[in-house]
Structure 1
């Protein structure tokens, strides 16, 4: 009995010796901070991602300030701030009516494209994928062209809604054709490319048979431009981004298991097809809304997630940094397009395509070398 009692004694641990995590406490492991506001809730924050996000935010603010000052008429930062604060003055028209709404719209469109590209590339697991691959931009263009050709929609304010509807219909068509016993990313990309080519043919057919004035209007929209756009387009896009915030918070967590193959993710209890469908739907809504606001601006959704990933060095595409990168890229591109060849303004979509084309070729060459 005494031996049994002595053997059992070491198994008894005093209650005071057990360490319990405090509510609101945190620990650090390497470059990751683990926050535990509740005993069953853990939030992972990567230090490098936080620093990169702060740096991108600072660059965005600097770019927006520079864009408000520079142009055909230079306005000092002091005058810009005074005009914004008072809402009057000699530069009220240039600052409050022309530049500031355009700058805000550019930042929102860039953020929406960056988020959409990150979501689509997460679903397809392909850095060459973008919303254009699944026909969003081509669907929006075809819907806009058909609306102009038939005269169904004559109000300029209704054209963004037409573009959004066309993008959603094109993406839905791709999903209907792809969804056979689950969604395979290879077939997803191929069907999206095929739908995009067919819709591009519809647009080209209209351009060859339409009047010169209508054709020029469609061509200008197809290049993607922020010229002549402002709060009327920025307001709805901002509302969509705010409404999508809870879904984006879910997406940042749901996208983590998709870094594994489908079998591994399913073994972890993840409903892969449902998660992919939800991420794709969210990305389509963001891309279609951004396209309706500014036109199909190319390569922002393609390049922003990959640039953000290389800056943060995270295993998955960071949504917040992708949004900030897209906003910085588009604001800087619009500033360059306005000031590069004054008094001529280059459409920002043409400039992003000119820069994004070599990046795409470099990315293709790098993937070929890796294989």
Structure 2
């Protein structure tokens, strides 16, 4: 093994489709297709951002949008900078957080069906938030923190029930689905027992909506994403070992349980904070990593492409939700669920057909 590694280093060999970037003593192996996909996604996201700021009750020319973004005086400052831009920022940050969270959870579970909204994280955040609203237990500006606490508590519950000397991916997903159902029932019970106006407010929040969101919600989410950058760099490296099966990891001496725990905690925190900021926008965390992985054709789910895909999905979905049935404005979670639910059913059927073919 060491001789082969030395030969590869000496001869400058590299896997197909990869490029070695060197800077001083450090060198990095870069997958070229992943870089191209990330660049294309970034361009598409930039176009979606401009379209989002242009389209609304009144159309704003792209030149005026650019002027506002550059901080120059414009007659459309109120519409673009005050009404649309804060909501857009929340959508971008929440979508990116959901995308990375979904990629991490799917890596740990080694299952494309796993995502924070499937294994109970967003349901835990939702149940905690609805409980706080129903009992008027906290102030409005502290609801995002309640959501984070609920998501972490749900993830801890799933982890404890799924742990049997080692974390098995199939048990992790099944326990998560069971916890999701239980928390969903608890949320509905709280809605029926609470005040009518509070229940209506909670129902809108539970669908996942960016209406009325602003920099107050974006601040904590941006802070968590900024702090999580070093953790995300570690996660990108740890993904490879986390995708090993238990026997392979044991043979290689990889502390698999600790790696999986770290990836799970990071994914849960990102999903919980995003849920606190924008509500449980369903299926973004499920869709984004799968789309990114199919575009890049890599063994591990690319985190940057997942973040860009998640942000793009949320921004485009919210734009359509605002204008598709104008003057009626739909919550963004309605559109993501309309796309994500059929995809989840297709994914389940596809997974079952593959397992059936293997067993035969």
TM-score by length of 1: 0.90
Which of the numbers 211, 228, 233 marks the counterpart of 1:249?
A: 233
What is aligned with 1:83? 68
What is aligned with 1:179? 163
Which of the numbers 269, 292, 297 marks the counterpart of 1:308?
A: 292
SS of the residue corresponding to residue 44 of structure 1 reads strand
Which of the numbers 266, 273, 291 marks the counterpart of 1:289?
A: 273
Q: Does 1:317 align with 2:330?
A: no
What is aligned with 1:263? 247
Comparing 136-145 and 168-177, the one that deviates more: 168-177
Matches within 5 A, 1:333-352: 333-352=317-336
- Whether the 8 Å contact between 1:222 and 1:295 is mirrored in structure 2 is yes
Q: CA deviation at 1:227?
A: 0.7
Q: Which runs of 4+ in 1 moved over 6 A?
A: 19-22
What runs of 5+ residues in structure 2 fail to find an aligned partner? 1-6, 356-360
What is aligned with 2:20? 34
Matches within 5 A, 1:57-96: 57-86=42-71, 88-96=73-81
Q: CA deviation at 1:267?
A: 1.3
Q: CA deviation at 1:140?
A: 0.8
Q: After superposition, what is the alpha-carbon deviation per residue over 1:82-103, rounded to whole angstroms, capped at 9, x for unaligned?
A: 2333465432221111111111
Q: CA deviation at 1:258?
A: 2.6
- Whether the 8 Å contact between 2:135 and 2:194 is mirrored in structure 1 is no
Q: After superposition, what is the alpha-carbon deviation per residue over 1:184-221, rounded to whole angstroms, capped at 9, x for unaligned?
A: 12221222122221211111112222232111101000
- Whether the 8 Å contact between 2:134 and 2:195 is mirrored in structure 1 is no
Equivalent residues, number:
349
Partners in 2 of 1:205 and 1:182 — Cα distance? Answer: 34
Q: Does 1:103 align with 2:88?
A: yes
What is aligned with 2:39? 54
- Whether the 8 Å contact between 2:152 and 2:268 is mirrored in structure 1 is yes
Partners in 2 of 1:369 and 1:125 — Cα distance? Answer: 18
SS of the residue corresponding to residue 134 of structure 1 reads coil
- Whether the 8 Å contact between 2:134 and 2:191 is mirrored in structure 1 is no
SS of the residue corresponding to residue 296 of structure 1 reads coil
Q: Does 1:231 align with 2:215?
A: yes
Partners in 1 of 2:83 and 2:16 — Cα distance? Answer: 47
Q: CA deviation at 1:20?
A: 12
- Whether the 8 Å contact between 1:27 and 1:35 is mirrored in structure 2 is no
- Whether the 8 Å contact between 2:123 and 2:183 is mirrored in structure 1 is yes
* 1:38 to 1:84, Cα distance in 2 relative to 1, 3 A: closer
* 1:86 to 1:42, Cα distance in 2 relative to 1, 3 A: closer
What is aligned with 1:131? 116
Which of the numbers 190, 201, 212 marks the counterpart of 2:185?
A: 201
Aligned-residue Cα RMSD (Å) equals 2.0
Q: After superposition, what is the alpha-carbon deviation per residue over 1:47-71, rounded to whole angstroms, capped at 9, x for unaligned?
A: 0000000000000000001000001
What is aligned with 1:327? 311
Partners in 2 of 1:230 and 1:367 — Cα distance? Answer: 40
Q: CA deviation at 1:27?
A: 6.7
Q: Does 1:355 align with 2:354?
A: no
What runs of 5+ residues in structure 1 fail to find an aligned partner? 1-18
SS of the residue corresponding to residue 167 of structure 1 reads helix
Q: After superposition, what is the alpha-carbon deviation per residue over 1:337-366, rounded to whole angstroms, capped at 9, x for unaligned?
A: 111111111100011000111111221222
* 1:38 to 1:78, Cα distance in 2 relative to 1, 3 A: closer
Q: CA deviation at 1:179?
A: 2.5
Q: CA deviation at 1:34?
A: 2.0
- Whether the 8 Å contact between 2:125 and 2:276 is mirrored in structure 1 is yes
- Whether the 8 Å contact between 1:134 and 1:193 is mirrored in structure 2 is yes
SS of the residue corresponding to residue 132 of structure 1 reads coil
Q: CA deviation at 1:334?
A: 0.7
Decide which structure has the larger Cα Rg and report it.
1
Partners in 1 of 2:264 and 2:40 — Cα distance? Answer: 29
Partners in 2 of 1:367 and 1:213 — Cα distance? Answer: 42
